[in-house]
Chains A and B, each alone.
Chain A
Amino acid sequence: EPEVTQTPSHQVTQMGQEVILRCVPISNHLYFYWYRQILGQKVEFLVSFYNNEISEKSEIFDDQFSVERPDGSNFTLKIRSTKLEDSAMYFCASTRGEPLHFGNGTRLTVT
């Protein structure tokens, strides 16, 4: 069964640095998402992306965050000037109209 793949599985960065989290959605999917899960807490919506533009974003997704689909297969989340509180699991998801398929996440640790 096709999967959403995310790299890296674990990223450690220093506060203030920029990170790019990468995702390869399922190939025939059209809608792409990023979600975040702080350790021990619930999964939270960050942003949805369709037709090469953001369709909706949460209040968490401020100017520090950006998303891009640089080519036909990758979908990235960039976090500029990371803060300690950005430490979390970041999940990419995609769909073509049925329920979301999630990747296994990237664990971001900001030190």
Chain B
Amino acid sequence: GQQLNQSPQSMFIQEGEDVSMNCTSSSIFNTWLWYKQDPGEGPVLLIALYKAGELTSNGRLTAQFGITRKDSFLNISASIPSDVGIYFCAGQIGTSYGKLTFGQGTILTVHP
């Protein structure tokens, strides 16, 4: 099956710093999604990307759909303590609607 390689596995940063994480795959995806998961809760959608090259922002978050359709990155600017959590990328192949392949997750810790 498809595999997504997400990096880094974890990040420890100071409040106010910018953060970048990415996902790569050997497979082509038609949709890239970025989710955040807080402890004991389900993944919450942050950004959805539908076209190769697309760059989309949601507040302090910016994500891009790679031109090759095999990668995506997420940037968080000016991090704050509530950004703490696990960030997952997820890819969807067009013929399998809603069947998402998730990355392993990036654990983000923000020190005040």
Contacts and interface: CB of A to CB of B under 8 A. Distances in A.
Interface of A: 4, 31, 33, 35, 41-45, 48, 55-56, 58, 91, 93, 95, 98-105
Range, interface on chain B = 20 to 34
Contacts of B31: 99
A79 to B, nearest CB: 19
Contacts, number: 55
A101 B45 CA distance: 7
Interface of B: 1, 31, 33, 35, 40-45, 48, 88, 90, 96-105
Contact of A105 (B35, B41, B97, B104): B41
A105 B42 contact: yes
Contacts of B99: 33, 45, 48, 56, 58
Contacts of B88: 42-43
Contact of A31 (B44, B98, B100): B98
B45 A43 contact: no
A45 B100 contact: yes
21 contacts: A33-B98, A42-B102, A43-B43, A44-B102, A48-B98, A91-B42, A91-B43, A93-B42, A93-B98, A98-B48, A99-B33, A99-B45, A100-B45, A100-B98, A101-B45, A102-B35, A102-B42, A102-B44, A103-B42, A105-B41, A105-B42
